[in-house]
Chains A and B, each alone.
Chain A
Amino acid sequence: MKKNNQRSIPKRVPMREQSAKERALNFNEVALGYGPEEAVAEASRCLQCKSAPCMRGCPVEVDIPSFVSLIAEGDFDAAIKKIKEKNCLPAICGRVCPQENQCEKFCTLSKKGEPLAIGRLEKFVADHERESGKISLPKKKGPTNKKVAVIGSGPAGLACAGDLAKLGHSVTIFEALHKSGGVLAYGIPEFRLPKTVVEKEIDFIKKLGAEIKTNIVIGKTKMIDELFSEGYDAVFLGTGAGLPRFLRVPGENLNGVYSANEFLTRANLMKAYLFPKYDTPIKRGENVVVVGGGNVAMDSARTALRLGAKNVYLLYRRTEEEMPARREEVQHAKEEGIKFRILATPKRFIGVDGWITAVECIKTRLGEPDESGRRKPVIKEGSDFLLPADVVIIAIGTMANPVLLEATPDIELNGKGYIAVKKNFRTSKEGVFAGGDITTGSATVILAIGTGKTAALEINNYLLT
C-alpha cells in the first residue's frame, strides 16, 4: 500500500454484506465487516490530518487518527486498546453510530470523495478482539471506597458505569428487565446488532468491576432514597425514554396494532421470531404497515419482513429528506423491498371482529418549518386511500416513562417531561445525576454513551470533593 502522499486517493474499501434477497429471509447480521486486509487497506487511506477534524464529530472523543494508524500498521490489539481508552462499547458503536453525521462527516477525504470508513474500522478491531478471545483490561485507579448506583443498563448506564469503575468506584447497575442492555437488548434487532456482541461488551463492563442486578425496578422494588440509606454515595439515572407514543386515532387498540417497542421487544428481547421454541408469540403479518420514519421504524419494517410479510409499507408523513433514520438504514430497507409511502399519515384503523384489516390514510404536503426546523406536514383534504394491513406497527417515538419519576417527585422535570439537568448532569436532587434519553428525549446510542461518560466524570468530581 502506498503512503498517503499520493495525489489520487484510493476509493473507499467496500464492506461485504449479505445480499438483500438472502438477508430479507434471516435474522443474521446484514454487515459482514472487513477482513484484516480490507481493514489495513481502508485505514491506509487516512491522511492523518494534524488537526484531526474527525475527532470533533465524536461525542466520546476517541483518538481516531491514532487507532486508524495502528490498524494501517497491522497492530490491531493496540488499535482496540486505543479506542477503549475512550469508548467501552466499540463493537456496538461501530455498528449503530450514525458516523455519517459524526466523525466521518468531518473527514478531510470527504471533500474529494468518500470519507474514511471510521465506523467499519472500529467494528473490525472490536470484532477482532472479541473473536480472538484476548480481551485486555485497561488500568483501573485504586479503590475510592465510594459507591455509585446506576439505574438502567442501556448505553448511558453502561458507559457511565464502565468509566466510574475505571476511576476506582464501586458500581452497581440496576436493570428492570431480566436482561441487561436496555435498547441494545430489546430494541435494536439481531440483524443490525447481534445480541452476542452486546453480551460480550456488557461482560467487559462487568470485568471492569461493575455489578449488574436485573429484575429491579427503581421506583417500585427500591426507591432512590433507599439507595442512599444503603450506602450509595451517588446515583446516575440512565433509564431511557421508553413509554411508547401512539397516534390517538380511532381503531388504534385493534388486535394486530403494535407499538414498535412491543413489536421489537417481542422479537428481540423475547426472541419471538423463534416461537414456538421460545414461548413469546408475535403476529406474523402478510401486509404490514409501519408508521414512522426513524431508525426504529426501519428496524420494525425489516423485522416484519423477516417474519415473513409479503408486503411491508412504511408510512411517513414527510419526505425521505426529513426522515430521521440513517441513510444506510433507509437504503437497506429499500433494497430489501420495504415499500415507502411518503407524504401520508393514518387517519384511522379499520377492523373486522376486533382485528385490524386496513389503514385509512390521508395524503400530506409539506408546509412551513416547525420548531425542529423540518417542514410541517399539512393534510390534503379528500386524498384518503386504503392500505391493507393485518399488522400495524406504530413507530412515532417515545416519551418519558412515569414509574421512576412519579416515585421521586423531588426530581424536577423540564417542559417536555424529561429530567431537567444542569450542565454538570446534576438533577435537582442532591447526589442524583442523569443522562441519556431520559434527559434529552429519544436520541442516539452514542449520544447516550457520551452523556454517560461525561456524567461519570462529574460524579467523580462530586465524590472526591
Chain B
Amino acid sequence: MFKILKKEKLAPLVFGFEIEAPEIARKAKPGQFVVLRIDELGERIPLTIYDFNEKNSSISLIFQEVGKTTRQLASLSRGDFIGDVVGPLGKPSEIKNFGTVVCVAGGVGAAVIFPIARALKKAGNRVITILGARNKELLILEKELSSISDDFFITTDDGSKGKCGVCTDILEGLIEGGQEINRVIAVGPAIMMKFVCETTRPHGIKMIVSLNSIMVDGTGMCGSCRVTVGGETKFCCVDGPEFDGHLVDFDELMNRQKMYLEEENTSLKEHEAKELKKGKCGCKRDK
C-alpha cells in the first residue's frame, strides 16, 4: 500500500499527489514512469513521475481526470492509500549538455517535461520552454517551469494568457528567427507532438517525444503499448517512453489510444451512477 502524503489541485480536473514510495524515489530519473492500480478491482495505468524526493522517500505524480480510474484517483485524499505502485519504469531521458534545448509542453505534458527540463538545465543546457494549453485555467507548473528556463513562453488556444495560438507558432518563430536549437523535446497530446515533429523535421533538428500509449504491466510483458518507430515495432514501456519523434507513426499511436473508448465510457457511466447513489458527484467536489 502506498500512502498519499499530499494532494493538490493544479487546474480544473488536474491533480498532484505526493506518494510515499521510498524504493521508487531512490531510483527514479527524469522521463520514467510508474504503473499504478488503485484497488483490487482496478486497472493498471501508467503515470509519469513528475518529481522524486529521496529524502522524503516520496514521488510526485500529476494526472488529469479523463476516465473512471483517474476520477476515482482524484477522489482520494491525503492519508488515503493506493493499492499498488510499481516503478520506476521505462528508460530515463538522455541528459547531456546538448547546447540549446527547446522543451515544448502541452497540457499535463508539463508534468513530464518538468523533471527533464530541470535536469537539462543542471547539465548546462540553455533551456527554452514553451508551455501550451487550451486556456489559462489549464496551464500548470508555470512557476516551476519558468524558474528553470532561460526563456519561457506561454501559448493558449483562446489567448487568455500568453500568445494566442499553439506551441508550434512560437517554435517556428524561434527557428525562423535564427535561434540555434540543438534538440527539441515535446510532451503532450499525440496530435500536438505530431505537429511539433512536423515543425522541426524540415530543419533537421533532433526531436524527442515521450509517448503515452495504453499499457497493462509496463514491463514488456504484454505488448499493449506497441508503437511503430522507424518502421519497426517497439514497446513504449521498455524501449521508450521516449523516441525519436521524426520516426514515430503518430497516426497509429492515436488510433491505438482509441482502442477502449467505448469501454472507458461504460466504465465511467457505471462509476457516475454509483457516485450518484452515494450522493456525491464530481461537480460538488470541484466546488
**Is B one of A's binding partners?**
yes
Q: Which of A80-88, A101-109, A278-286, A422-430 interfaces with chain B?
A: A278-286
- Are B224 and A178 in contact, CB atoms less than 8 angstroms apart? no
| Closest A residue to B253 using CB positions | A253
At the interface, yes or no: A416 with Cβ under 8 Å from chain B? no
| Closest B residue to A242 using CB positions | B221
Contacts of A300 in B (CB 8 A): none
- Are B23 and A222 in contact, CB atoms less than 8 angstroms apart? yes
Chain B nearest Cβ from A304, distance in angstroms:
16
Q: Interface code A139-176, partner B: CB below 8 Å = 1, 0 otherwise?
A: 00000000000000000000000000000000000001
At the interface, yes or no: A401 with Cβ under 8 Å from chain B? yes
Chain A nearest Cβ from B231, distance in angstroms:
11
- Are B41 and A279 in contact, CB atoms less than 8 angstroms apart? yes
User: Quick one: given A176-B217, A221-B27, A281-B260, are A246 and B86 in contact (CB under 8 Å)?
Assistant: no
Most buried by B among A186, A258, A265: A265
- Are A265 and B88 in contact, CB atoms less than 8 angstroms apart? no
Query: Which residues of B76-90 have CB atoms within 8 Å of chain A's CB atoms?
Result: 83-89
Q: For the complex, give the distance between the alpha carbons of A221 and B88 in Å.
A: 6
At the interface, yes or no: B219 with Cβ under 8 Å from chain A? yes
- Are B252 and A253 in contact, CB atoms less than 8 angstroms apart? yes
Query: Which residues of A272-301 have CB atoms within 8 Å of chain B's CB atoms?
Result: 275-281, 283
| Closest A residue to B37 using CB positions | A178
At the interface, yes or no: B238 with Cβ under 8 Å from chain A? yes
- Are A281 and B233 in contact, CB atoms less than 8 angstroms apart? no
- Are B83 and A178 in contact, CB atoms less than 8 angstroms apart? yes
User: Quick one: given A279-B42, A281-B264, are A221 and B219 in contact (CB under 8 Å)?
Assistant: no
- Are B222 and A244 in contact, CB atoms less than 8 angstroms apart? yes
Most buried by B among A222, A253, A275, A403: A253
Contacts of A278 in B (CB 8 A): 41-43
Query: Which residues of B58-94 have CB atoms within 8 Å of chain A's CB atoms?
Result: 68-69, 83-89
Chain A nearest Cβ from B252, distance in angstroms:
6
- Are B220 and A242 in contact, CB atoms less than 8 angstroms apart? yes
Q: Which of A36-44, A211-219, A357-365 interfaces with chain B?
A: A211-219
At the interface, yes or no: A266 with Cβ under 8 Å from chain B? yes
Q: For the complex, give the distance between the alpha carbons of A277 and B252 in Å.
A: 30
Q: For the complex, give the distance between the alpha carbons of A85 and B256 in Å.
A: 50
Query: Which residues of A207-230 have CB atoms within 8 Å of chain B's CB atoms?
Result: 214-217, 220-222
Q: Which of B23, B68, B238 contacts A216 (CB 8 A)?
A: B23
- Are A262 and B216 in contact, CB atoms less than 8 angstroms apart? yes
| Closest A residue to B88 using CB positions | A220
- Are B216 and A220 in contact, CB atoms less than 8 angstroms apart? no
- Are A217 and B68 in contact, CB atoms less than 8 angstroms apart? no
- Are B87 and A280 in contact, CB atoms less than 8 angstroms apart? no
Q: Which of B27, B219, B233 contacts A246 (CB 8 A)?
A: B233
Query: Which residues of B190-246 have CB atoms within 8 Å of chain A's CB atoms?
Result: 216-217, 219-224, 226-228, 233, 235, 238
Q: For the complex, give the distance between the alpha carbons of A244 and B228 in Å.
A: 16
User: Quick one: given A253-B228, A253-B256, A281-B264, are A259 and B223 in contact (CB under 8 Å)?
Assistant: yes
- Are A221 and B86 in contact, CB atoms less than 8 angstroms apart? yes
Chain B nearest Cβ from A286, distance in angstroms:
15
User: Quick one: given A177-B217, A279-B267, are A262 and B222 in contact (CB under 8 Å)?
Assistant: yes
Q: For the complex, give the distance between the alpha carbons of A277 and B271 in Å.
A: 10
- Are A217 and B222 in contact, CB atoms less than 8 angstroms apart? no
At the interface, yes or no: A248 with Cβ under 8 Å from chain B? yes
Contacts of B286 in A (CB 8 A): none
At the interface, yes or no: A402 with Cβ under 8 Å from chain B? yes
Q: Which of A220, A255, A265, A354 contacts B221 (CB 8 A)?
A: A265
Most buried by B among A270, A281, A402: A281
Q: For the complex, give the distance between the alpha carbons of A278 and B43 in Å.
A: 7
At the interface, yes or no: B44 with Cβ under 8 Å from chain A? yes
Q: Which of B23, B87, B222, B270 contacts A261 (CB 8 A)?
A: B222
Chain A nearest Cβ from B12, distance in angstroms:
24
Q: For the complex, give the distance between the alpha carbons of A80 and B163 in Å.
A: 75
At the interface, yes or no: A190 with Cβ under 8 Å from chain B? no
Chain B nearest Cβ from A248, distance in angstroms:
7
At the interface, yes or no: B266 with Cβ under 8 Å from chain A? yes
Contacts of B83 in A (CB 8 A): 178
Query: Which residues of B236-287 have CB atoms within 8 Å of chain A's CB atoms?
Result: 238, 252, 255-256, 258-260, 263-264, 266-267, 270
Chain B nearest Cβ from A78, distance in angstroms:
37
- Are A265 and B222 in contact, CB atoms less than 8 angstroms apart? yes
Q: Which 5 A-B pairs have the closest CB atoms?
A: A281-B263, A354-B255, A262-B222, A279-B43, A178-B84
A-B residue pairs in contact (CB < 8 Å), sample of 22: A178-B44, A215-B84, A217-B219, A243-B220, A246-B226, A248-B233, A253-B226, A253-B227, A255-B256, A255-B259, A258-B223, A261-B223, A262-B216, A262-B222, A262-B224, A275-B267, A278-B42, A279-B68, A279-B69, A280-B43, A354-B252, A403-B238
Chain B residues proximal to chain A, CB less than 8 Å? 23-24, 27, 37, 41-44, 68-69, 83-89, 216-217, 219-224, 226-228, 233, 235, 238, 252, 255-256, 258-260, 263-264, 266-267, 270
Given contacts A178-B86, A261-B223, 19 further A-B contacts (CB under 8 A): A176-B217, A214-B84, A216-B23, A217-B219, A220-B27, A221-B27, A242-B221, A253-B228, A255-B256, A258-B223, A262-B223, A265-B216, A266-B222, A275-B263, A276-B270, A277-B41, A278-B42, A279-B42, A279-B267
